[in-house]
């Protein structure tokens, strides 16, 4: 993507970032990444590997470095195209941390203390309730506001953070005049919430202790088949949506996401068939959806020079674009511009 693309085409700007957690699940892919890929033609997309966000939890340095580069390679394999999209590593663009500090000073302590994710994570990590965990939403706001984003893809767990970003931007604009665009949420269509294969009342998560409850994008075909064959269903043995059929509903949602078939089409396809046939078909569809991603990933991860070329080029452009917003905000506050 050239530096001028954002100015010329006047498409809505969309920003999103994902942490380099070490594993990207089928839920991450169907709920977010597949949607990111489809947005590239209709929006000016800016995507990042959110490595700064990741250090609110202690990281083992060598593994952290691997996670970052593997996440970058995997998102390229999923279809992120750096000819269309700015896709960089967050820590390579220093304006994110700089604006985050400024926004800290325009965010109220009470606002951050009410963040549900802070309450949840501080209870889970009682030995490391650090300031970064508390101020995390200010960095997230900086990520978004730096690029004057129109839209931010959000799940249910991120709505509160987006609302805070809007509140802080509005507060700053109220004091200094129009500086930041107020972003809206972008709510993706079907497949946005993929549930655990073993407990369909919970979202699919790699942190689940039961390895059969989640599928990784890079899982081997035989492992994917095994996990789906063990997926929780019910005793009715009828493939249809239902209020008390959470496991079947989840499998139908996954099948719909990878095949494009509607619920009614799926019900007709498996009319008179049992759950064994249905689970096998879902697994086969997922395997075929993920096969080209795994193949592309193996090529990308073996070519470190190519990966470095892509993330370096994108970071340079992202820095030029984001610096305009940061310089504007700093000038309005009264800072003296230095030479850099």
Q: Output the tens digit of pLDDT for each of the chain's 340 residues.
A: 555 555 555 899 999 999 998 789 999 899 888 889 999 999 999 999 999 999 988 899 999 999 999 999 999 999 999 999 999 999 999 999 999 999 999 999 988 888 877 777 777 777 778 888 889 999 999 999 999 999 998 876 678 889 999 999 999 999 999 999 999 999 866 555 799 999 999 999 888 889 999 999 999 999 999 999 999 999 888 999 888 899 999 999 999 999 999 999 999 999 999 999 999 999 999 999 999 999 999 999 999 999 999 999 999 999 999 999 999 999 999 999 887 6
Q: Per-residue pLDDT tens for 95-123?
A: 999 999 999 999 999 888 888 777 777 77
Residues 137 and 17 placed together within one structural domain of the fold: yes
Q: Which of 203, 227, 245, 279 is catalytic?
A: 203
Catalytic-residue membership of 203? yes
Residues 59 and 150 placed together within one structural domain of the fold: yes
Residues 157 and 250 placed together within one structural domain of the fold: no
Residues 80 and 139 placed together within one structural domain of the fold: yes
Q: Per-residue pLDDT tens for 129-143?
A: 888 888 999 999 999
Say what the pLDDT of residue 244 is: 87
Helices 304-333 + 159-176 axis angle, to 10: 40
Catalytic-residue membership of 206? yes
Q: Which of 11, 84, 121, 240 is catalytic?
A: 121
CATH number at residue 238: 1.10.240.10
Residue 163 lies in a domain: yes
Residues 236 and 315 placed together within one structural domain of the fold: no
Catalytic-residue membership of 304? no
Residue 199 lies in a domain: no
Residue 61 lies in a domain: yes
Residues 170 and 258 placed together within one structural domain of the fold: no
Residue 203 lies in a domain: no
Say what the pLDDT of residue 129 is: 83
Q: Which domain holds residue 27?
A: 5-191+304-333
CATH number at residue 136: 3.40.50.620
Residues 10 and 92 placed together within one structural domain of the fold: yes
Residues 74 and 180 placed together within one structural domain of the fold: yes
Residues 114 and 49 placed together within one structural domain of the fold: yes
Residues 166 and 22 placed together within one structural domain of the fold: yes
Say what the pLDDT of residue 104 is: 96
Q: Which of 11, 84, 181, 206 is catalytic?
A: 206
Residue 31 lies in a domain: yes
Q: Is 117 exposed, middle or buried (0-12, 13-18, 19+ CB in 10 A)?
A: middle
Between strands 44-49 and 13-18, the pairing is parallel
Residues 309 and 283 placed together within one structural domain of the fold: no
Structure-token pair, residue 110: 């009470």
> How many structural domains is the chain composed of?
2
Say what the pLDDT of residue 187 is: 81
Residues 185 and 282 placed together within one structural domain of the fold: no
Residue 136 lies in a domain: yes
Residue 205 lies in a domain: no
> Is the whole model's pTM more than 0.85, yes or no?
yes
């Amino acid at each position: 993507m050239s530096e001028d693309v954002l100015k010329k085409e006047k498409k809505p700007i969309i920003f999103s970032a994902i942490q380099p957690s070490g594993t990207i699940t089928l839920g991450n892919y169907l709920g977010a990444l597949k949607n990111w890929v489809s947005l590239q033609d209709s929006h000016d997309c800016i995507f990042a590997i959110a490595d700064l966000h990741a250090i609110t939890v202690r990281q083992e340095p060598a593994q952290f470095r691997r996670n970052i580069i593997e996440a970058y390679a995997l998102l390229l394999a999923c279809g992120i195209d750096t000819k269309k999209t700015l896709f960089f590593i967050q820590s390579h663009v220093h304006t994110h941390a700089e604006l985050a500090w400024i926004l800290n000073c325009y965010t109220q302590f009470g606002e951050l203390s009410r963040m549900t994710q802070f309450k949840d994570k501080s209870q889970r990590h009682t030995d490391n309730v650090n300031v970064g965990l508390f101020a995390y939403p200010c960095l997230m706001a900086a990520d978004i506001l730096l690029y004057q984003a129109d839209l931010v893809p959000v799940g249910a767990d991120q709505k509160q953070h987006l609302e805070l970003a809007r509140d802080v931007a509005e507060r700053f604009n109220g004091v200094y005049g129009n500086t930041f665009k107020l972003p809206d949420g972008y709510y993706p269509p079907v497949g946005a919430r993929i549930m655990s294969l073993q407990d369909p009342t919970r979202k699919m998560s790699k942190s689940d202790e039961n390895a059969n409850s989640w599928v990784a994008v890079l899982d081997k075909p035989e492992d994917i088949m095994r996990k789906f064959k063990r997926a929780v269903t019910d005793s009715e043995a009828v493939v249809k949506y239902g209020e008390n059929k959470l496991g079947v509903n989840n499998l139908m949602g996954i099948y719909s996401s990878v095949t494009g078939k509607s619920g009614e089409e799926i019900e007709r396809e498996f009319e008179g068939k049992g759950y064994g046939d249905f689970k096998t078909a879902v697994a086969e569809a997922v395997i075929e959806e993920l096969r080209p991603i795994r193949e592309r990933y193996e090529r990308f991860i073996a070519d470190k020079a190519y990966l470095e070329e892509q993330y370096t080029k994108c970071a340079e452009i992202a820095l030029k674009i984001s610096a305009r917003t940061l310089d504007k905000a700093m000038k309005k506050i009264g800072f003296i511009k230095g030479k850099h």
